[in-house]
A and B are shown apart, each in its own frame.
Chain A
Amino acid sequence: MSELSENPTSFKQRIWQALAPEPLPDDDRGRMRRVMDNLVLHLHPSKVPVQTLKWTYTWGLGGLAGLLVTLLALTGVFLEMNYTPSPLQAYQDILTLRTNTWFGDLLRNIHHWSANLLVLVAILHLLRVFVTGGHRAPRAMNWIVGVLMLLLVLGANFTGYLLPWDQLAYWAITVGTSILSYIPLAGSWLSRLLLGGPEVGAATLLNFYSLHISFIPILIVMLMSLHFWRVRKDGGLTIPKKAGETEEPKIERVTTIPHLVSREAIFAVCWLAILFVWSMLVPAPLEGIANPAVSPNPAKAPWYFMGIQELLLHFHPLIGAVVIPALGLGMLALLPFYDFSMASVGVYFRSKRGQAASMLAAGLSLIIIPVWVVLDEFILDWPAWLPGWPSWISNGLAPLAVIMLGFLILAGAVKRAARLSTEELILFSFVFLLCGLLLLTITGVFFRGPGMQLYWPWNMPNH
């Protein structure tokens, strides 16, 4: 269409000229201008450092999260059209969607798997940013925005979990919201407020539906916008460096069109293809209709809360579900303010020694956490050793204090033996704790059977 005349003669041509994009300029200046003049592309700078385009540096995780949010919003709107948030109708609607609606099942599967993938991708994105030092100044504020978005993603997932109104949903939400009631002072009030009554029921379904389709998505979109804007304001991505490289790498910039945009497009198309094929082959789980009279055995929370549920098997709920997660979350959000050395920004795992320390942390975690789970299951019996104490001390603070002391001794020993710097020690602790959470989650999802007893996954009794 480049041969469009100055004065289009036909009606059709005039419409075309008003709406169609001008042909892509083939000089850098023109391409940079195109980025600046386009509403969507303007999220990007007109030029980007060529090093940050390297796929194995960012893994495209932030972009994938953005893609998934878009896909979730789109599929979500269509799912809403076939759904009534009432205990009498909800489950029936899901069945109708699966069997009597064109592409209804596919739509539901895409929504389900994208939502689960989003949790995973958000965590991996956080991990990538942390291990390359992207959380440090001047990006500290954006780190906190990211942590808030992680919470919102979990909230969106959790509220969506109830909507099919099957046994899985009903009991996962019952267990999940009961955790709230252990928050000191305000807990039971808060739980009643969220549930809209003493137990999960019609009011809960309506509350969760409202939060899921409006409040949480609006907050996510607002924070996403802030997040993207801050990336540019903070000077773009961190520049990758090799371990041991002392001088700042020279930054060579290339135009966003085509270098970044084409990579993003290919990446997005590939992921959409994977998601669609996966969703055609693997149906989202759906069990029988919710029955408030019968808890299934075992009753498990959504997989991303199974780490906390595993903690609940070992600690009093005040410690396992409130104190430990709150401590973890606080340490995560405040990370940029005690881990702030700028020298290693851009180096994966800080340094050669940091890389080794991370491997060591993962290995130690892989040994210590399962051993502790098994010990605590069969041998350790804190309430019997500390009779007469309230159980939030005997089965909560006391074992927590012992574990924390043990970890401090371990971390101190590693620090001295390997002569770790402060930032390497923080890295070591972070990797150890994150691997611990991962292992607890795997234990909860795959190794817990009827009565939440430990079983080998290949030996799991069918209940």
Chain B
Amino acid sequence: MTEKTLSRRDILKTTWAVVGGLALLELGGVTLAYMQPRLAEGDFGSLISAGKIEDFPVGSVTQVPDGRFYLARLADGGFLALYQRCTHLGCNVPWDQSQEQFICPCHSSKFSLEGELLNPPAPRPLDLFLVKIEDGMVKVDTSKPITRTKFDPSQEVYP
């Protein structure tokens, strides 16, 4: 038989292949869906109240452990909430008061008070959380870190 015809067997084979492929895809999708992160309800991830405005003097850095961030008050009085997770490989970056820098213990990335990258290997400045000022209180929305390529005064929130 030289001419190309589609026999019943071919149709059945192709159908099986397509149906089987679809079933495998479904199975893969189901597995991935099942394995999606189970979001834990807790302090981190919600709107965190850091304290009253006057608790934070100008030029200070305060760690807020529940929210995993540092609240920095810059020289011009603006607030920045810096996610404490190093943008390089996820270590906690402590504030070194004597050098006035954030220095990562894992790979010695350094960041300024504004979170600006001073020393690689970290690829970008520290991530930010959204700061909200309500009734004289500083509140920080920790649901989503905001990435940035450099510091810009527009990122500050003023009381």
Q: Which residues of A contact B (CB under 8 A)?
A: 171, 174-175, 177-179, 192-193, 195-199, 201-203, 292-299, 309, 312-317, 320, 383, 391-392, 395, 450-453
Contact = CB atoms under 8 A, between A and B. Distances in A.
B105 A312 contact: no
A299 B93 CA distance: 12
Name, among A177, A196, A392, A453, the residue most crowded by chain B CB atoms within 10 Å (CB to CB).
A196
B108 interface: yes
Leading 4 A-B pairs by shortest Cβ distance: A297-B105, A178-B90, A178-B89, A295-B91
B103 interface: yes
B57 interface: no
B32 A298 contact: no
Given A178-B88, A196-B37, A293-B65, A316 B123 contact: yes
B108 A174 contact: no
Given A294-B92, A316-B123, A196 B38 contact: yes
A288 B95 CA distance: 22
Interface in B11-47: 32, 35-40, 45
Contacts of B32: 193
Given A174-B89, A195-B37, A452 B108 contact: yes
A192 B105 contact: no
A391 B37 contact: no
Q: Is the interface of B mostly helix, strand, loop or mixed?
A: loop
Contacts of B91: 171, 174-175, 295, 299
B51 interface: no
A392 B123 contact: yes
Contacts, number: 86
B148 interface: no
Q: Is the interface of A mostly helix, strand, loop or mixed?
A: helix
Contacts of A317: 88-89, 121, 123
For chain B, give the interface size range: 20 to 34
Contact of A298 (B38, B88, B106): B106
B22 to A, nearest CB: 23
A391 B123 contact: yes
A197 B37 contact: yes
A169 to B, nearest CB: 14
Nearest to B105: A297
B85 A203 contact: no
B120 interface: yes
Contacts of B94: 294-295
A295 B106 contact: yes
Contacts of A295: 91-94, 104-106
B52 interface: no
Contacts of A395: 120-121
Interface string B87-126: 0111111100000000111111000000000001101000
